[in-house]
Amino acid sequence: MRYVHFMYSIQLKPVYSCPADGVSQNINLPDGWKLAWHQYETLKALRNPEFDVVFNTAMTGDGKSLAAYLDVLQGECHAIALYPTNALAADQENQVQNYINDFQPPNEPRVNRLSGPELEIYAENEGLRKGSAIASRAGQSEILITNPDIFHYLHRGAYLTGKDTPDKLWNRIDKDFDQFIFDEFHVFAAPQVASVLNTMLLIQATNRRKKFLFLSATPSDLLLKRLAKAGFRCRVINPIDEGKYQFPETPAEAEALQADHWRQVARSIDLTFVSMEPTSKASETWLKENQEPILNQFLEHPGSKGAIILNSIAAVKRLTPVFRECFAQHGLTVRENTGLSGGQEKAESLAADLLIGTSTIDVGVDFKINFLIFESSDAGNFIQRLGRLGRHDKNIQGGSFDGFRAYALVPNFFVERLFAGDQAVLMDGEVCDRIHFQNLIRDKYRQINDFEGYYKRWGAVQSVYLGRQLSHDAVKTQYKDSVQKFQRSCEQVFDTRFGQVFRQMKDWSAEWHDLTGQKSSSPIAEDARSFRGSSPLQCGLYDLTERNERDRFKTYDLPGVLSNLEIEMWNKSAFLNTLKETAERTGQPIAKGRFKHCLGFMKLQSYREERLNWKFTYPGDLQPIADAYKVQVLIGLQVWQPDNPWASSINQQLKKQALVCYVLRKSVREVRLQLQLPMHFQIYSISDANSVHDANAPYSVAFGQSALLIDTLANRFRHEGGEIWVV
């Protein structure tokens, strides 16, 4: 039976942003530039000694990046900017360099970017250890662009030798830079937020006051309260709450706003919601069935540019050749959007007519679009992706299109909540302003768990490790006053006591010693103190579907390999030899550190048309493990996939791995629904010796930081009549 896709359309009004009043003549701006209200307010807040933390929540496309760097562009401060992905960091590096070219600041600030692969290559080329490489790169920068992972690890001493003092890196960097910028902060889960809070508390305890700026981060009241508990003084700059956006309905209203220097940040958009059945390939199937209508958008409006943004990389890989063949018959080009930051690959992408990808890098900015089809995983993701459309005037490249159109491929329950029944909040054909619309999206989309309990349960584990650094014999005199201040702040922010955390860590160590005989730190503590957690299921992948040789060397988690990929097993030495040969032949180094601890190595032949079923297995009885309701380290796990000829090769390595786990005696589907888990939350089916042949695995398992997150919800579970209910 064919699924019927219900479709409803609305029109979103254009958005204008309020200009700043009374901008000081001492502010250096390029000729003809005017600041938005939120940009000038951000600059004033960063310069105001009464504030330590500034949140800028301006809409997508309203110039938050300029607000972040405005003080630096006056030549008066140095900044570290932290971006959640290396692709975004590379994109912003180009943007910052453009700002410098436009503003011509008197100190000619140097901009450098530092990612894990670049750090490795830079250290090798300069003959330096990674710690020395970080110090060298930072010392040559007025603006250092990196990711919060590196920022976290340098503060926990990850790049030091045994002879270095614990503060060798962070003491210097924290003193040299005045401002710390966190962009796209809303994408981080609780473990990453806790790590950022710990680093801020360390800086606060050991330095004069610094400035922290968060962009795209709608702060929760609880986050603001935590910061206030630690003595941070916050300023939230919210143009929406201050009425600094206008939504004109007529050309006359728009002209009046422009005459008063209001800047248009979003154009009117015709948005259609398309209901999708709750299956993994629903959107992919719809796109294949609607190739011709999508193509007609480009044929009827020559000069159009479009993007399809999906949740699944595998879906992108399967769809791109289908659309490429369809469009090529009419002289139109289709490319994947990999988020590459430069070179020939980016030039070719920007010249395409249609981009298909999971990344929004360049979309709506360098790659100006008037047509968008997108999936979303939650309300914030929906708003961010829609925000890539309507950011420029209609007359791009002489195009003849008459407006901006978007199709949102969303779950059927979401469409029903918005448009169907007595509780409907929108009508088909309605005209709506962005603010009201975004509030409806946040209210009606599926609510996902924010894991608020993580901070109390796990947040202070990293705090204890950082506190130990300050008490190290080599620096304890220097930080005599800082230790107590840091501990007190952490205990307040995470609502716990270091003594409790110490006792828990001793228990983990004892269990780890009983299991393995090792006296090293427990993997549970290591996952709790890391930024993104360990990756014990990561595989090294040589992607034969990738055109660029240098980009073929990737990492991919084992569950994704089992579900989506046709692969050929390889060995580590052959993989690394090919990497070395490719680097020598192309004359460009390729970082290899990320492959050091891979579970296995393989060649990617193609992406499967259909996902394959599989599950984890455990050789013993999972019932007592699940009944313990706690994070544990398990050894001996394997995968069960009878039709997979290489599963046995993977199992030889997998069964030796010590894995941080949380096991629940419920199916993955039930756990996802009960706990309102995010779409991409990593939880999998698992059977034991008693249930390995059952059609449906009776248990589910989460690993690493996902296990820690599940643990924060465990006290909500109770068994009654064999069913789970939520308190």
pLDDT, tens digit (0-9, with 9 covering 90-100), for 460-486? 999 999 999 999 999 999 998 899 999
Judge if 155 and 44 occupy the same domain: yes
pLDDT band, residue 340 (cuts 50/70/90): very low
Locate 270 and state its tokens: 């015709």
Judge if 229 and 251 occupy the same domain: no
Judge if 165 and 66 occupy the same domain: yes
Inside any domain, residue 446: no
Inside any domain, residue 444: no
Distance CA 552, CA 545 (A): 8
- The reported pLDDT for the residue numbered 719 is 45
Inside any domain, residue 532: no
Looking up residue 344, the CATH number of its domain turns out to be: 3.40.50.300
Judge if 237 and 254 occupy the same domain: no
CB of 655 within 8 A of CB of 637?
A: yes
CB of 308 within 8 A of CB of 374?
A: yes
Inside any domain, residue 346: yes
Judge if 650 and 712 occupy the same domain: yes
Inside any domain, residue 447: no
- What dihedral do alpha carbons 392, 398, 399, 403 form, nearest 10°? 40
Q: What is the mean pLDDT of residues 414-431?
A: 92
Distance CA 205, CA 208 (A): 8
What is the count of structural domains for the chain? Answer: 6
Judge if 120 and 190 occupy the same domain: yes
Q: Please give the helix or strand (H or E) that residue 506 lies within, else none.
A: helix 498-516
Judge if 87 and 173 occupy the same domain: yes
DSSP 107-132: T---EEE--HHHHHHHHHHHT--HHH
Residue range 640-690, pLDDT digits in tens = 998 888 989 999 999 999 999 999 999 999 999 899 999 889 999 999 999
CB of 181 within 8 A of CB of 80?
A: yes
Judge if 553 and 489 occupy the same domain: no
Judge if 700 and 717 occupy the same domain: yes
To the nearest whole number, what is the mean pLDDT of the chain?
Answer: 90
- The reported pLDDT for the residue numbered 447 is 83
Judge if 480 and 349 occupy the same domain: no
Among 109-123, 231-245, 460-474, 553-567, the range scoring the smallest mean pLDDT is 109-123
Judge if 602 and 623 occupy the same domain: no
- What are the φ and ψ backbone dihedral angles of 404, each rounded to 5 degrees? -115, 135
Judge if 496 and 368 occupy the same domain: no
pLDDT band, residue 126 (cuts 50/70/90): confident
Inside any domain, residue 180: yes
- What dihedral do alpha carbons 634, 636, 642, 643 form, nearest 10°? 90
Domain final residue, candidates 583, 607, 631: 607
Of 620 and 209, the one with more pLDDT: 620
**Which domain range does residue 659 map to?**
615-726
Tell me the whole-structure pTM to 2 decimals: 0.92
Inside any domain, residue 673: yes
Distance CA 345, CA 342 (A): 7
A 10 A CB-CB count for 450 gives 14
CB of 119 within 8 A of CB of 112?
A: no
